[in-house]
Amino acid sequence: MLIKTGSNGFQHVFSSDITPVSVYQNRRELMRLMATGMAGAAMASWAARDALAQSVTVRPGKLAALAGAKSNVAGAITMEKTTDYKDASSYNNFYEFGTDKADPAQNAHTLKTTPWTVEVEGLVKKPAKYTLEDLLKLSAQEERVYRLRCVEGWSMVIPWVGYSLSELIKKVEPASNAKFVEFVSLADPKTMPFVGSRVLEWPYVEGLRLDEAMNPLTLLSFGMYGEVLPNQSGAPVRLVVPWKYGFKSGKSLVKIRFTDKEPKTAWNKAAANEYGFYSNVNPNVDHPRWSQATERRIGEEGGLFAKKRKTLMFNGYEAQVGQMYAGLDLKKNF
Contact positions vs ligand MTE (CB under 6 A): 1, 92-96, 148, 150, 185, 204, 233, 246-247, 249-252
In this structure, the strands spanning 294-297 and 154-164 are parallel
Number of CB atoms found within 10 A of residue 81's CB: 10
Q: Closest distance between ligand MTE and the C-beta of residue 13, in Å?
A: 11
Q: Please say which residue, 45 or 93, places its beta carbon nearer to ligand MTE.
A: 93
Q: Closest distance between ligand MTE and the C-beta of residue 152, in Å?
A: 7
Q: Please say which residue, 123 or 150, places its beta carbon nearer to ligand MTE.
A: 150
Q: Closest distance between ligand MTE and the C-beta of residue 304, in Å?
A: 17
Residue nearest to ligand MTE (CB): 246
Q: Are 242 and 162 in contact (CB under 8 A)?
A: no
Q: Are 196 and 202 in contact (CB under 8 A)?
A: yes
Number of CB atoms found within 10 A of residue 121's CB: 16
Q: Residue 134 in 3-state DSSP? A: helix
Q: What contacts 85, CB < 8 A, 6 or more positions away?
A: 57, 59, 225
User: Is 209 exposed, middle or buried (CB count within 10 Å of its CB: 0-12, 13-18, 19+)?
Assistant: middle
Q: Please say which residue, 123 or 275, places its beta carbon nearer to ligand MTE.
A: 275
Q: Residue 196 in 3-state DSSP? A: coil
Q: State the Cα angle at 110 between 100 and 66, rounded to 5°.
A: 95
Q: Please say which residue, 1 or 53, places its beta carbon nearer to ligand MTE.
A: 1
Q: How far apart are CA 218 and CA 197, in angstroms?
A: 30
Q: Closest distance between ligand MTE and the C-beta of residue 49, in Å?
A: 12
Q: Please say which residue, 174 or 250, places its beta carbon nearer to ligand MTE.
A: 250
Which residue(s) pair with 121 in the sheet?
257
- Name the residue among 136, 115, 116, 119 with its Cα closest to residue 127: 119
- Name the residue among 156, 152, 18, 14 with its Cα closest to residue 88: 156
Q: How far apart are CA 261 and CA 182, in angstroms?
A: 10
Q: How far apart are CA 145 and CA 151, in angstroms?
A: 19
Q: Closest distance between ligand MTE and the C-beta of residue 233, in Å?
A: 5
Q: Please say which residue, 108 or 178, places its beta carbon nearer to ligand MTE.
A: 108
Q: Please say which residue, 42 or 123, places its beta carbon nearer to ligand MTE.
A: 42
Q: Closest distance between ligand MTE and the C-beta of residue 85, in Å?
A: 12
CA distances from 239 to 3, 197, 285, 287, 292 (A): 23, 24, 24, 23, 23
Q: Closest distance between ligand MTE and the C-beta of residue 35, in Å?
A: 25
Q: Please say which residue, 169 or 229, places its beta carbon nearer to ligand MTE.
A: 229
Q: Closest distance between ligand MTE and the C-beta of residue 184, in Å?
A: 9
